[in-house]
Copies of this chain bind each other. A is one copy, B any other.
Amino acid sequence: MNELTIELSAEDGKCLYEQIYEYIRKEIREGKLLQDEKLPSTRALASFLQVSRSTVELAYEQLLSEGYIEAIPYKGYFVCRMEELYHIEARAEEEEREKKRQDEKYEIDFSPNGIEMEYFPYGAWKRISKNTLIDDRKEMFALGSPQGDFELRSTIAKYLHGSRGVNCFPEQIIVGAGNDFLLMLLEKILGRHVKIGMEAKTYKRAYRIFNSFAYEIHPIRQDGAGIVVEELEKSGVSAVYVMPSHQFPTGNVMPIGRRTELLKWAYEKEERYIIEDDYDSEFRYKGKPIPSLQASDKMEKVIYIGTFSKAIAPAIRISFMVLPKRLLKYYKENLSFYSSTVSRIDQMILNEFIKDGYFERYLNKMRKVYKSKHDLLVGECRKMENLFELSGENAGLHVLLRSRKGKTEKELIESAAGCGIKVYGLSDGYITEEKEETNTVLLGYGGLSEEEIKRGMEQLKKAWSE
């Protein structure tokens, strides 16, 4: 082969070599140029395409460096063996395309994971970043404490005490690049073969993570107050994962009685621990803020995990874990050789952002923004009171609707999809083998504008009233 019919365009905004490179790359990826196939020589292709030889050489170099083609001396350029990768990629791409096609069907997506980034004080964040970098503190390029900078940990301890009633010393805090990493570290602290209890409907991501450990996961029955402690007791687990301030997906808040029962369970045996994931406790719209479970813990039994990904921005990969003192001791003696996963510059920026009051102001702003969206959504939901029972509406960024007419989750999702609206099934959160058929859907509103919420709810009313 010495001809590749590439349509080169001067107006494409891309230089010629890039266009050649991308064309060949696409041909290889799509399997149109096959393994071991010979490419035209640079001279031949250049003359064929009427471009300079160095343009073709540049394109080939790029393909070489990325491993798409190989050069065999005195023979020429050949397409590399890459079936396997091709399969992986092709499938991944196919899935992505499929997802996109699916998503395009939807005009409005009531995703419970959506968050609003419109009001983030980008300006302040940038200014602090700039100032942090201007200070000629070269130590910020040196490796810091494995637990995170002491200043940031002090700031977090203070913030947690003030806003969530968490009692801890900065020494007990480990700062890490996201909850997933902190759970991986916790695996090393708690040991490899832990029996862990989780509510039967829970946060799927945490379930997947525990599942990737050697943990034995026991789904525990839950009622309106949260995990049923007698069942927990019976299951024989030594650790339990809960979200007392706002359970996902049910939206329930664990009342004080159940909290006391749960703590009592943990107090009874030395090896028992409660993992409290306080993922979106910042947002509560009714009544007084509810303190964390950790705040009521008198015997160092609660491992508290929180994140700035939800309240600041998902790309800010900073989470934190508060360890009870016995676990802290184990960590310090056995695991503190694990280096910190958060860059010191980021730690300093976040520290300033909180200390200078931006974080609090931003949270206050967002509480108002989310409350306004929440009130709008809840108001619209109430108009369908004859059809649906509303719950989980006092906190967080989603509500639940249960059909009073016996419509199944599947039916509700499908009729919504028919009107271009995406809603989510409660059963997505099930970790039991058999998924109960539910009559409940989740509506998240964090990432939608008020206009979208209004429009979406109108469509849903139409879809569900028939």
User: A452: CB under 8 A from chain B?
Assistant: no
A418: interface (CB < 8 Å): no
Residues 291-322 of A, flagged 1 when their CB comes within 8 A of B and 0 if not, give 00000000010000000010001111100000
Q: List, in ascending order, chain B residues with CB within 8 A of A133's CB.
A: 122, 125-126, 129-130
Encoded as 1 (CB less than 8 Å from any B CB) or 0, chain A from 42 to 83 comes to: 000000000000000000001011110000000000000010
Number of copies: 2
Which residues of the partner chain B approach A317 to less than 8 Å between Cβ atoms?
177, 339-343
- What separation, in Å, do the CA atoms of A63 and B320 have in the docked complex? 21
* Shortest CB distance A299–B (Å): 11
Contact with B along A407-441 (1 / 0, CB 8 A): 00000000000000000000000000000000000
B66 near A161 with CB under 8 A, answer yes
Q: Is A329 interfacial (CB-CB < 8 Å)?
A: yes
Beta-carbon contact of B122 and A328 below 8 Å? no
Which chain B residues border A208 with CB–CB below 8 Å? 337
* A144 CB–B CB distance under 8 Å: yes
- Shortest Cβ distance from A15 into chain B, in angstroms? 15
Q: Is the CB of A343 within 8 A of B329?
A: no
Contact across chains for A341 and B212 when beta carbons are under 8 A apart: no
Distance between Cα atoms of A89 and B171 in the complex (Å): 8
Binds B, one of A30-38, A135-143, A231-239: A135-143
- Tell me, yes or no, whether A346 is within 8 Å of chain B by CB: yes
Could you say which residues of chain B place their CB within 8 Å of the CB of A342?
Answer: 177, 317
Given A117-B142, A161-B65, check contact A343 B325 (CB 8 Å): no
Q: Is A345 an interface residue (CB 8 A)?
A: yes
Contact (Cβ within 8 A) A66 B335: no
Number of interface residues of A (CB under 8 A): 75
Give every chain B residue within 8 A of A154 (Cβ-Cβ).
Answer: 66
Taken together as a complex, chains A and B put the C-alpha atoms of A300 and B88 apart, in Å, by 15
Stretch of A180-188, A368-376, A458-466 lying at the B interface: A180-188
CB of A1 closer than 8 Å to a CB of B: no
Flag whether A256 is at the interface (Cβ < 8 A).
no
Please tell me if the beta carbons of B122 and A138 are within 8 angstroms of each other in the complex.
yes
Contacts A141-B314, A209-B338, A315-B143 hold; do A92 and B332 have CB atoms under 8 A apart? yes
Q: Is A214 an interface residue (CB 8 A)?
A: yes
A205 within 8 A of B: yes
Say yes or no for A158: interface residue by CB 8 A criterion. yes
- Which A112-148 residues have a C-beta within 8 angstroms of B? 117, 120, 122, 125-126, 129-130, 133-134, 136, 138, 140-144
Cβ–Cβ < 8 Å partners of A62 in chain B: 158
Q: Is A167 within 8 A of B130, CB to CB?
A: no
What is the 8 Å Cβ interface bit string for chain A, positions 85-108, against chain B (1 contact, 0 not)? 100110010000000000000000
- Distance in Å from the Cβ of A289 to the closest Cβ of chain B? 16
**Chain B residues with CB below 8 A from A144, complex form:** 315
**CB–CB A141/B117 < 8 A:** yes
Q: Which residues of B contact A212 (CB under 8 A)?
A: 188, 334-335, 338
A138 to B329, CA, bound (A): 41
A446 CB within 8 Å of chain B: no
Assess A339 versus B141: contact at CB under 8 Å? Given A133-B126, A212-B334. no
In the complex, A363→B169 CA distance in Å?
A: 41
Chain B residue at smallest Cβ distance from A80: B167
CB-contact partner of A325 in B84, B140, B179, B341, under 8 A: B84
Shortest Cβ distance from residue A128 to the other chain B in the assembled complex, whole angstroms: 10
* B158–A65 touching, CB < 8 Å: yes
> Which of A125, A133, A205 has the most C-beta atoms of chain B within 10 angstroms of its own C-beta?
A133
Residues on B with beta carbons closer than 8 Å to the beta carbon of A143: 309, 314-315
Check if A259 is an interface residue, CB within 8 A of chain B. Answer: no
Shortest distance from the beta carbon of A333 to any chain B beta carbon, whole Å: 9
Q: Is A157 an interface residue (CB 8 A)?
A: yes
- Flag if B192 contacts A338 (CB, 8 Å): no
Given A66-B157, A67-B161, A316-B343 contact (CB < 8 Å): yes
What are some 19 contacts across the A-B interface (CB < 8 A)?
A: A64-B161, A67-B167, A88-B171, A88-B325, A88-B329, A117-B141, A120-B141, A122-B136, A125-B133, A126-B130, A144-B315, A177-B317, A178-B339, A181-B181, A181-B341, A205-B337, A316-B343, A343-B343, A346-B346
